[in-house]
Structure 1
Amino acid sequence: MACARLAALRSVLLRSIGASPRKIIWPATSRPHPALGFSSAPRLVESSSSMAAAGTEVSCGLLAGRHDAYDGIILDPESIPQSPATFTEALQVSMAAWRGAGVKGVWMRLPPTHAHCIGHAVDAGFEFHHAEKEYVMLTCWLPRDVPSPLPPNASHQVGVGAFVVNEKREVLVVQERLGPLRGKGVWKLPTGLVIAGEDITEAAEREVGEETGIKAKFDAVLAMRQAHGVAFGKSDMFFLMALKPEPGQEKVSFQAAELECAAWMPLDDYVALPTHTPLNLRLMNSCLAYLDGSYRGLWARRVQSGFKATQDLLMFGEQSLSGGRDEDAWLGLVK
């Protein structure tokens, strides 16, 4: 069966690339889908009698990549030709080979140097998945008789807010220079977006430091809010957190590029402001309950997940610690 499948694949490739003599070279660094039946991905080049000049791109090569855990292929960006004509030809040959070998999903990452190849990939059946400053990710689901289960792009952006109260029972507040509250004189808690790869606890500490110059440490997650249609059709997840400031920090130095001003305001004065929305009032109720000790919110600890070497951030309620906080050692939690 394997020999028959390889023979059929060879036939498909030869029909795709024409009758001119070719030979297959196996790059040691490539790892194709195992269904191809080879230990590394083939790269088709001209035979020695018709080799192109050194340094020039050769057409009709199989694009190299590595197989994933879902019978798909993640292409190696280094294997993608820059020439639109070479890219289009190589992509056609590769897709025919992948379909014949039972490959399902294909992930193609194109850097800015290959931006001119994007339209050709879309013409071949690829769809946009997401984009970053460094690349555009495209995907293609090869089976024609099965709907694509490829995961969509991230659906949410993540934001944080910080409830910081000092020993004088003053709350840290800011007025925004930019955004929907610009010029309205509205006092609010410091907020900001989480950077990729950053824990929400770290993001809250960073935002407070950047916006106000105040050093404060995470203590609890007090509330979470989800909203839709916020950022170009994406949803938004917002975490309100309590931070404890280092004592003796009276001077506030605000971030002039983003804020009109920042200050310590008596908590009762802030609660009494007429600009609070119903949502803000509910959030403030959680803040006040935390402050008087009737509400603890969620702990946050880094935990070994068991699936990878790194640790994940786990948020959990006080009832999870039936044995008290000393149970952290038994659970493998890291403070």
Structure 2
Amino acid sequence: IEDNYGGVYVNLTEPMTIEDFVPKLRASLVEWKIQEKKGIWIKLADGLDNLIAPAKTFLFTFGDLLSAQGFVCHHAEKEYTMLTSWISELPNTLPANASHRIVVGGYVLNKKTKEVLVVHEIDGPFKDTGVWKLHTGVIEEGENVWEGSLREVEEVTGLEPITFEIKKQDSEILDAKWMPIEEYVNQPWNQNKEFFKFLANICLKRSQEMEYMGFSTVRTTTSTGRESYIYCNTDQPNLLNATRDLASTSTPTSH
């Protein structure tokens, strides 16, 4: 399958011997080179591990030039291994494998009492520190930021949007409670650590309904029709939604 960047994506799912794989790979690379393809992606399904070594040690020549010196393992998941090779003389622009995880924190404020939901964690860097902190967790694969934040709060504290009752998760949380926002902000840990002081001050300003309002979530769709979200710094998300709807229904005018 040709990708959108002048390359080729190959998805191998059926068993194949090395004797069959290597000649087919060589013939395909010759054809792709003639077509001036750039990046080659080969996705090997689980069970095709026998093809990894020959692909990584494969040498491909086109004319008198060494056009490809084996494939490299780009990344691996439980279901597959992804190999890549760059066969163009142009600079290699294949993206590196994702190496970061997105961590989210749940800032839950009771506006009436000006109290924030905080936890004592059983494990992790805050174990036995006595620090009351916002609950944090890791975004799951394919999950949106706001969905992950809400899920983490609900899973660990049992808190639902319409109630203030806490039902903590015993496996991760030692204790959970509502704490006055000023008390949370003024904890020595938050005051002595620049990063946490910055976050605590954001929470304080939000509780006081000051100028900082953070990002608003605007639901939209991509060019392929997939649901997506834009996170932007505004306190008027309804205006943004109206602008989006207007843009999607307006007709260009010729001059």
> For residues 273 and 332 of structure 1, do their structure 2 counterparts lie closer, same or farther at Cα, with a shift above 3 Å needed?
same
Give the equivalent residue in structure 2 for 1:254: 168
Quick one: distance in 2 between partners of 1:133 and 1:156? 18
Give 5+ residue unaligned stretches, structure 2.
59-69, 247-255
Identical-residue share of aligned pairs (%): 35
Matching residue's letter, 1:202: E
Bigger shift: residues 123-132 or 148-157: 148-157
Instruction: State which of 62, 78, 84 in structure 2 corresponds to 1:139.
Output: 84
Q: Which residue of 1 aligns with 2:52?
A: 118
Distance 2:45 2:130 in 1: 43
Corresponding position: 1:154 with 2:98: yes
Aligned with residue 139 of structure 2, among 194, 208, 211: 194
Q: Give the equivalent residue in structure 2 for 1:310.
A: 226
Structure 1 pair 84/180, CA: closer, same or farther in 2 (3 Å)? farther
Aligned-partner Cα distance in 2 for 1:121–1:202: 40
Q: Distance in 2 between matches of 1:278 and 1:177?
A: 24
One-letter amino acid matched to 1:137: M
The letter for the 1-side match of 2:8 is I
| 168, 179, 187: which one aligns with 2:113 | 168
Distance in 2, matches of 1:67 and 1:112, equals 23
Cα distance in 1 between the residues matched to 2:200 and 2:38: 50
Instruction: For 1:105 and 1:140, locate their aligned partners in 2 and report how far apart those are by CA, in whole Å.
Output: 6
CA distances 1:227-264 after superposition (whole Å, capped 9, x unpaired)? xxxxxxxxxxxxxxxxxxx24x23x2222222222222
Root-mean-square deviation (CA, aligned residues, Å) is 2.2
Structure 1: which 5+ runs fail to align?
1-65, 217-245
Q: Does 1:100 pair with 2:34? A: yes
Asked if the contact 2:118–2:177 (Cα under 8 Å) also holds between the matched residues in 1, the reply is: yes
Larger radius of gyration: 1
User: What is the CA-CA distance between 1:198 and the residue it aligns to?
Assistant: 1.3
Alignment of structure 1 residues 57-76 onto 2, 5 Å: 66-76=1-11
Give 1:203's aligned amino acid: G
Q: Please state how far the C-alpha of 1:301 moved relative to its aligned partner.
A: 0.9
Q: Which residue of 1 aligns with 2:64?
A: none
Give the alignment's TM-score, normalised by structure 2: 0.81
* TM-score (normalizing by structure 1): 0.63
Q: 2 CA distance for matches of 1:179 and 1:112?
A: 33
Q: Determine the C-alpha separation between the residues in 1 that align with 2:181 and 2:71.
A: 55
Using the alignment, how far apart are the partners of 1:108 and 1:177 within structure 2? Answer: 43
Kindly provide the CA deviation profile for residues 177-209 of structure 1, in whole angstroms up to 9, marking residues without a partner as x: 222223333221011111122110111100000
SS at match of 1:186: coil
Equivalenced residue count is 231
For residues 76 and 175 of structure 2, the distance between their equivalents in structure 1, rounded to whole angstroms, comes to 35
Q: Measure the CA separation in 2 of the matches of 1:331 and 1:101.
A: 41
Structure 1 residue aligned with 2:194: 278
Match of 1:331 among 227, 244, 254: 244
- In structure 1, C-alpha distance between the alignment counterparts of 2:169 and 2:22, rounded to whole Å: 49
8 Å contact from structure 1 (residues 72, 106) kept in 2: yes
